[in-house]
Amino acid sequence: MPVPKRKRSRARRDKRFANKGMSVKSLTKCANCDTAQMPHQVCSSCGFYKGTKVLVTKADRRTKRDQEKKARDEARKGPAAPPTDGE
């Protein structure tokens, strides 16, 4: 079995990885909310893909939770007092 004659130096070995740096990713703008996003992927901030809502985002869950909390508070407080005429 053939074997390399000499050990490859650290410099020669590391030259192989010299051009393996990170490249700048190309970004597109979301058609719904205008934030930068990866092409061909669901927008992570609004959950839209090609103009259709496909993902429930963290912000959506928070809004829903706030609405439920508000409804619970309203129910606990009872019906609101009718507004007076200011006298």
Nearer CB in complex with Zn ion: 33/54 = 33
- State the Cα–Cα distance between residues 61 and 44, nearest whole angstrom: 14
* Interface with Zn ion, residue 71, by CB under 5 A: no
Question: What's the chain's length in residues?
Answer: 87
Q: How many CB atoms lie within 10 A of CB 5?
A: 5
End-to-end CA distance of the chain: 104
From 16-24, 40-48, 49-57, 64-72, give the range in contact with Zn ion by CB under 5 A.
40-48
Binding residue (CB under 5 A) for Zn ion from 30, 42, 53, 57: 30
One of 27, 28, 33, 61 touching Zn ion (CB under 5 A): 33
